[in-house]
Amino acid sequence: MSKERSSRGAGTGSKSGSRSGSRLGPQKSYAAKSKDPLRRPERRNASGNIIAPEGQKNFSNAKALPQHAIHLERLLPELLNFEQPADRVVSRYFRSEPQLGNRDRALIAESAFAILRRKNEFSQFASSGEGSQARRLALLGLLSALSEGGLGSANRAESAIADLAHVLKTGEYEWLQRFATVDPSALNPLVRNNLPEWLWDAFGKYPGEESREALAKSLMHPALLDLRANTMKTTREQLLAEMNALGGRYQAIPTPYAPDGVRIMGKPALQNTVGFKAGMFEVQDEGSQLLAYLLAPKRGEMVVDFCAGAGGKTLAIGAIMRSTGRLYALDTSERRLANLKPRQARSGLSNVHPVWIDSENDSKIKRLAGKIDRVLVDAPCSGMGTLRRNPDLKWRQTPEGVLELNQKQMNILASASRLLKPGGRLVYATCSLLPQENQQIAEDFLAKHPNFEAVPAAEVLKPLFPKDKMPLGCSPDNPWWQLWPHIHGTDGFFGAVFQKKAAVSATTVDKDDEKSVKVKSKKAVKELK
């Protein structure tokens, strides 16, 4: 600290000839910053505890501080404009506030997302009370994060209000108590369930009136933290032992369905753990993990993840393949593929080949036509199945936007289908709960591509759930796969499995032709560069 101060002083004093001098410059800077409550100098008492600018309060054990509410007030205007994804807005704000610690960021972020999850409900109640609208919303967000987000003393409103003791002003304590006693059943359904009207109507049609309230309620709570044990480096049992040995206010338990999944009860800083740096696990929702088993890749095959993104599913597929064969990760975003590279390096996989494409019609795709064993199309979608993690989507998305996505989904699926050899498997998936992005796309694809047939998801997942009469997410009424947040505790995922019918001439192909196909497959990597 002394070196930092001396260097700053030397820099200011070196401006000889300036009337401000070495003293006046720092004073001006300090005076400007002192008006900002977040920039006041830190003071400590004889015991080393921080002294608050407004008094002698000891914040050493406080769950929430006055600055948390101030940060939220500053963050909310841009967040509620819905011009950009919420996670991007929050990340950019944190980069501008480097003094915030990990726990500060966790509480502020969780509070911000709680406001987005319950925007209708919070906005209606925040129309009463004292102070600015942003201040009132910030307090409601903090209350939710401390009571439901696992960041408070206990998971109840009374404890959360107590955790806000250093934040609340006169009258705000009673105001929050009134909020805690509001009867949800007395509220308008759109307010109570915190959904835009078009989405509330859509959920009434599918899954239906009886389960619509349960679904909406599940989407108002933060998603649990799931990890996938990287079986190239560890086992689920070893990862469970490693995570529980770290201590702290959280617990690691097995996920109920995914064989390599670990669920973390709490909010640990995973990026600082040895296990993360060593590539022992990846953060991945349990439903997303199960999607890799719907594709069911085999060792030595040629596989394509057509919309790979940052590669979460790619890495899960590569682990199932035991790093054999070739696994192409295609995406139109260079930024997302760049994020895959360090994850791949940690994973220890050597069979993953990231490839940037400009569209679903890229010439690189055409070079692989008829050569691929399995293709996963995790298509761009509305994301309505991830509202627990991305609550801003329900306010940013529109019915018109979903219709535009439908055409893109069909185009991508049609392009991906050309990659498959006879007998190859194509899996179409979304993280949506809307039938127009799911069942309708699957049915339209079959109608337009008679050389493909649907494979029942129950048949594919039976080896993973041998004791169950009907595997998870499957139905005897249709061949599709659907996970629900309110039923399965996962993100909402849809999956459809298709198989390319064997060509009529497949039985008459001579040995020379077979050799030719094999040679071309070996050259595929070079062709994509």
pLDDT band for position 515 (cuts 50, 70, 90) = very low
CB atoms within 10 A of CB 497: 24
Whole-angstrom distance, CA of residue 94 vs CA of residue 97: 5
Q: pLDDT exceeding 90 applies to what percent of the chain?
A: 73
Q: Answer whether residue 153 shows pLDDT above 80.
A: no
- Across 301-312, average pLDDT: 96
Least confident of 202-211, 226-235, 516-525: 516-525
Least confident of 23-27, 161-165, 253-257: 23-27
- Across 44-52, average pLDDT: 44
Choose between 317 and 152: higher pLDDT: 317
CATH of domain 66-191: 1.10.940
Least confident of 126-130, 227-231, 372-376, 392-396: 126-130
| pLDDT, tens digit, 9 for 90 and up, residues 263-282 | 998 878 888 889 999 999 99
Q: Supply the pLDDT for residue 61.
A: 57
3-state secondary structure of 302: strand
pLDDT band for position 423 (cuts 50, 70, 90) = very high
pLDDT band for position 528 (cuts 50, 70, 90) = low
Whole-angstrom distance, CA of residue 352 vs CA of residue 324: 9
Lookup: tokens for 148: 């439901």
Q: Backbone phi, then psi, for 247, in 5-degree steps?
A: 75, -170
pLDDT band for position 24 (cuts 50, 70, 90) = very low
Q: How far apart are the first and last CA of the chain?
A: 50
Separate counts of helices (H) and strands (E) for the chain: 25, 15
Residue type, 460: V
> Is CATH 1.20.1240.10 correct for 286-525?
no
| pLDDT, tens digit, 9 for 90 and up, residues 395-416 | 999 999 999 999 999 999 999 9
Whole-angstrom distance, CA of residue 354 vs CA of residue 331: 8
Q: Supply the pLDDT for residue 37.
A: 54
Query: Is 166 within 8 Å of 65 (Cβ atoms)?
Result: yes
Q: Supply the pLDDT for residue 271.
A: 85
Whole-angstrom distance, CA of residue 26 vs CA of residue 347: 49
Choose between 3 and 79: higher pLDDT: 79
Rank 154-168, 236-250, 289-303, 352-366 by mean pLDDT and report only the highest. Answer: 289-303
Q: Backbone phi, then psi, for 453, in 5-degree steps?
A: -135, 150
- Strand partners of residue 375: 304, 426
Q: Answer whether residue 90 shows pLDDT above 70.
A: yes
User: What average pLDDT does the structure give for the chain?
Assistant: 86
Q: Supply the pLDDT for residue 526.
A: 53
Least confident of 31-40, 124-133, 175-184: 31-40
Choose between 31 and 347: higher pLDDT: 347
Q: Answer whether residue 46 shows pLDDT above 50.
A: no
pLDDT band for position 157 (cuts 50, 70, 90) = confident
Domains of the chain, by residue range, sit at 66-191, 225-283, 286-525
Q: Answer whether residue 20 shows pLDDT above 50.
A: no
> Is CATH 3.30.70.1170 correct for 225-283?
yes
Q: Supply the pLDDT for residue 266.
A: 80
Q: Supply the pLDDT for residue 503.
A: 73
Q: Supply the pLDDT for residue 519.
A: 41
Q: Answer whether residue 286 shows pLDDT above 50.
A: yes
Return the sign of the alpha-carbon dihedral for residues 151, 153, 154, 158: negative
Angstrom distances, CA of residue 322 to CA of 113, 301, 315, 326: 37, 11, 10, 11
- Across 473-482, average pLDDT: 96
Q: Supply the pLDDT for residue 160.
A: 87
Q: Supply the pLDDT for residue 38.
A: 55
- Strand partners of residue 500: 452
